[in-house]
Structure 1
Amino acid sequence: MECWPFDPKIASGQPIPPVEHAISVSLPTWKDNLNYEDDKKRLVGALVRGYPRFIVDERIRTLGSLCVQKFGGSPKESCLPFPTQQIADDCREFIERRSSLAGPTIYAQLAHLRLISTENKRALDLHIVIFPLETFPLAKQFWQHAGLGITTRYSNLCLQMSETATYETPSLISTTEKTRDDVSFLEANCHYDLELDSDVEAKDALRLRIAGFFNTPDSVSAQDSGGSPRSVSSEDVFLFPTGMAAIWNAHQLALSSRSNSKTICYGFLYTDTLKVLQKWGSGCHHLGRGLEPDIQELEHLLETLTAAAELSEPPVSALFTEFPSNPLLQSFNLPRLRSLADKFGFLIVVDDTIATAVNVDILPYADIVTTSLSKFFGGYADVMGGSLVLNPQGRHYEALKTALQASYVDTFFSPDAICMELNSRDFEDRIRTINSSTEYICDFLRERSLAGGCPAGSSVIRDVYYPKYITKELYDSCRRERGGYGGLFTLMFTKETASHSFYDTLSCCKGPSLGTAFTLSCPYTILAHSAELEWAARWGVEEGLVRVSVGVEPLDTLIEWFKLALAAAESAP
Structure 2
Amino acid sequence: MRFETLAVHAGGESDPATGALSPPIHLATTFKHGPAAERLDGYEYQREGNPTNDRLCAALAALEHGQSALTFASGMAAISGLLESLNPGSHIVIPDDCYTGLRILAGEFLPDRGVRVSTIDVTDIDALRQACNGGIDLVWVETPSNPRMKITDIRAVAEISHAHGGRVVCDNTFASPALQRPLDLGADIVMHSTTKYFGGHSDVLGGALIFKEAGEWFEQAAHRLHITGATLAPFSAWLTLRGCRSLPARMNMHCSNARAIAEFLDKHSSIERVNYPGLPSHPGHAVAASQMSDFGGMLSIELRGGKSAALAMAGKLKLFTNATSLGGCESLIEHRASVEGENPTSTENLLRISVGLEHHEDLIADLVQALD
Shorter-chain-normalised TM-score: which range?
A: 0.7 to 0.9
Task: Give distance in 2, aligned partners of 1:477 and 1:492.
Answer: 26
- Opposite residue 441 of structure 1, the aligned amino acid is I
1:214 aligns with 2:64: yes
Q: State the Cα distance separating 1:543 from its structure 2 match.
A: 1.2
1:282 aligns with 2:132: no
Cα distance per residue 1:48-105 (max 9 Å; x no partner): xxxxxxxxxxxxxxxxxxxxxxxxxxxxxxxxxxxxxxxxxxxxxxxxxxxxxxxxxx
Does the aligned pair in 1 maintain the 2:81–2:224 contact within 8 Å?
Answer: no
Task: Give distance in 1, aligned partners of 2:324 and 2:258.
Answer: 19
Corresponding residue to 1:431 among 242, 245, 251: 251
Corresponding residue to 2:289 among 462, 473, 476: 476
| Counterpart position of 2:72 | 240
Q: State the Cα distance separating 1:123 from its structure 2 match.
A: 6.1
Does the aligned pair in 1 maintain the 2:171–2:190 contact within 8 Å?
Answer: yes
1:399 aligns with 2:210: no
Q: TM-score, normalised by structure 1?
A: 0.52
Task: Give distance in 1, aligned partners of 2:355 and 2:28.
Answer: 45
Cα distance per residue 1:372-417 (max 9 Å; x no partner): 000111011111001100113xxxx533234334444261112222
- Opposite residue 114 of structure 2, the aligned amino acid is S
- Opposite residue 252 of structure 1, the aligned amino acid is E
Q: Map 1:75-114; keep pairs closer than 5 Å.
A: none
Does the aligned pair in 1 maintain the 2:337–2:350 contact within 8 Å?
Answer: yes
SS of equivalent residue, structure 2 residue 257: helix
Q: State the Cα distance separating 1:287 from its structure 2 match.
A: 3.2
Corresponding residue to 1:551 among 356, 360, 363: 356
- Opposite residue 364 of structure 2, the aligned amino acid is I
Cα distance per residue 1:322-370 (max 9 Å; x no partner): 0110000001122221122111101111100011110112113211110
In structure 2, the CA distance between the partners of 1:510 and 1:345, relative to structure 1 (3 Å rule), is same
Task: Give distance in 1, aligned partners of 2:28 and 2:204.
Answer: 27
Does the aligned pair in 2 maintain the 1:263–1:277 contact within 8 Å?
Answer: no
Task: Give distance in 2, aligned partners of 1:372 and 1:274.
Answer: 15
Q: Map 1:282-301; keep pairs closer than 5 Å.
A: 282-292=114-124, 295-301=125-131
Corresponding residue to 1:440 among 257, 260, 266: 260
| Counterpart position of 2:190 | 369
Structure 1, unpaired ranges of 5+: 1-119, 125-194, 216-231, 307-314, 449-458, 568-573
1:464 aligns with 2:274: yes
| Counterpart position of 1:33 | none
Q: Map 1:7-26; keep pairs closer than 5 Å.
A: none
Query: Identity over aligned residues, as a percent?
Result: 23
Structure 2, unpaired ranges of 5+: 1-26, 32-44
1:515 aligns with 2:327: yes
Cα distance per residue 1:550-573 (max 9 Å; x no partner): 111122221211121221xxxxxx
Q: Which sits farther off after the overlay, 204-213 or 379-388? A: 204-213
Q: State the Cα distance separating 1:517 from its structure 2 match.
A: 1.0
- Opposite residue 204 of structure 2, the aligned amino acid is V
Does the aligned pair in 1 maintain the 2:94–2:122 contact within 8 Å?
Answer: no
Task: Give distance in 1, aligned partners of 2:29 and 2:121.
Answer: 50
- Opposite residue 77 of structure 2, the aligned amino acid is A
| Counterpart position of 1:204 | 54
Q: State the Cα distance separating 1:421 from its structure 2 match.
A: 2.5
SS of equivalent residue, structure 1 residue 335: helix
Does the aligned pair in 1 maintain the 2:89–2:116 contact within 8 Å?
Answer: no
| Counterpart position of 1:502 | 313
Task: Give distance in 2, aligned partners of 1:286 and 1:495.
Answer: 33
- Opposite residue 167 of structure 2, the aligned amino acid is L
Q: TM-score, normalised by structure 2?
A: 0.79
Task: Give distance in 1, aligned partners of 2:28 and 2:132.
Answer: 55
1:340 aligns with 2:190: no
In structure 2, the CA distance between the partners of 1:514 and 1:473, relative to structure 1 (3 Å rule), is same
- Pairwise CA RMSD: 2.4
Alignment length, in residue pairs?
A: 319
Does the aligned pair in 1 maintain the 2:191–2:209 contact within 8 Å?
Answer: yes
1:381 aligns with 2:210: no
Corresponding residue to 2:132 among 302, 316, 319: 302
Q: Map 1:552-571; keep pairs closer than 5 Å.
A: 552-567=357-372
Does the aligned pair in 1 maintain the 2:93–2:120 contact within 8 Å?
Answer: no
In structure 2, the CA distance between the partners of 1:342 and 1:423, relative to structure 1 (3 Å rule), is closer
| Structure 1: 4+ residue segments shifted above 4 A | 120-124
Does the aligned pair in 1 maintain the 2:56–2:238 contact within 8 Å?
Answer: no
